[in-house]
Chains A and B, each alone.
Chain A
Amino acid sequence: GENVEQHPSTLSVQEGDSAVIKCTYSDSASNYFPWYKQELGKRPQLIIDIRSNVGEKKDQRIAVTLNKTAKHFSLHITETQPEDSAVYFCAASNSNTGNQFYFGTGTSLTVIP
């Protein structure tokens, strides 16, 4: 099955700086890569996603890049704000084989005011 690895496990940045979280996956057939943000005690919420036919996608301060050849994808948050502090999870899935989602172990991001 799919194996998703995520780094770093913790990340601290100064407010206004950028944050980058990286994930790798093992199954070249995976074709959909969502990112979730989970605040303490709350549900994971989708913040951005990318499909395998796209190399990059941006939504305001958040962007995701995908390198299918290297089987890795990254989340970029620019101009970080204290409310960006949360745990971020990457995931990979294959819509052709049932769309099961495999999650990374999470990155705890702290934005220091």
Chain B
Amino acid sequence: DTGVSQNPRHKITKRGQNVTFRCDPISEHNRLYWYRQTLGQGPEFLTYFQNEAQLEKSRLLSDRFSAERPKGSFSTLEIQRTEQGDSAMYLCASSSGQGNSPLHFGNGTRLTVT
């Protein structure tokens, strides 16, 4: 399967703990996006990368969230000092970045903060 891969699929953590998620995009895609989705809502933009450069970060994203894409391939999203409100599905997507190219989503990581 050469689609977008995310790990882990599920993560349960206690409030206050740090968590890290990984995304492997489609190999030839140079753009990588992170979205958050809660029940009954559309994907909410968090941040995106072109190659290794983080080009934009949502103003809604608190300082507890950080993302990296060190070699322009896979990316990690870290949430520090998790809160119950962080419980959501975290979706990664990639695109070729050529003109109007669609997003290809991974299966997501479902985070539950207890």
Which of A42-50, A67-75, A76-84 touches B?
A: A42-50
What residue in chain A is nearest B44 (Cβ atoms)? A103
Q: What's the nearest-Cβ distance from chain A to residue B69, in Å?
A: 15
Which residues of B (96-114) have their CB < 8 Å from a CB of A? 97, 99-108
Q: What's the nearest-Cβ distance from chain A to residue B56, in Å?
A: 6
Assess the A31–B100 pair: CB atoms within 8 A.
yes
In the bound complex, residues from chain A placing their C-beta under 8 Å from that of B22 are none
Assess the B55–A44 pair: CB atoms within 8 A.
no
Q: What's the nearest-Cβ distance from chain B to residue A57, in Å?
A: 13
What residue in chain A is nearest B99 (Cβ atoms)? A95
Give the residue of A4, A42, A51, A99 whose beta carbon is less than 8 angstroms from that of B107: A42
- B interface footprint on A28-58 (CB within 8 Å = 1, 0 otherwise): 0001101010000011111001010000000
Which residues of B (31-68) have their CB < 8 Å from a CB of A? 31, 33, 35, 40-45, 48, 55-56
Whole-angstrom CA separation of A91 from B40 in the bound complex: 16
What residue in chain B is nearest A89 (Cβ atoms)? B42
In the bound complex, residues from chain B placing their C-beta under 8 Å from that of A95 are 99-100
Whole-angstrom CA separation of A46 from B95 in the bound complex: 12
Whole-angstrom CA separation of A51 from B99 in the bound complex: 10
Give chain A's interface secondary structure class.
Answer: strand
In the bound complex, residues from chain B placing their C-beta under 8 Å from that of A99 are 31, 95, 97, 100-101
Seen from chain B, the residues whose Cβ lies within 8 Å of a Cβ on chain A are 4, 31, 33, 35, 40-45, 48, 55-56, 91, 95, 97, 99-108
A-B pairs, 3 with minimum CB distance: A103-B42, A32-B100, A43-B105
What are 24 A-B interface contacts by the 8 Å CB criterion? A6-B42, A42-B107, A43-B106, A44-B43, A44-B105, A45-B105, A46-B103, A46-B104, A49-B102, A51-B100, A89-B42, A89-B43, A91-B103, A95-B99, A95-B100, A98-B48, A98-B55, A99-B97, A100-B33, A101-B43, A102-B45, A103-B35, A103-B42, A106-B40
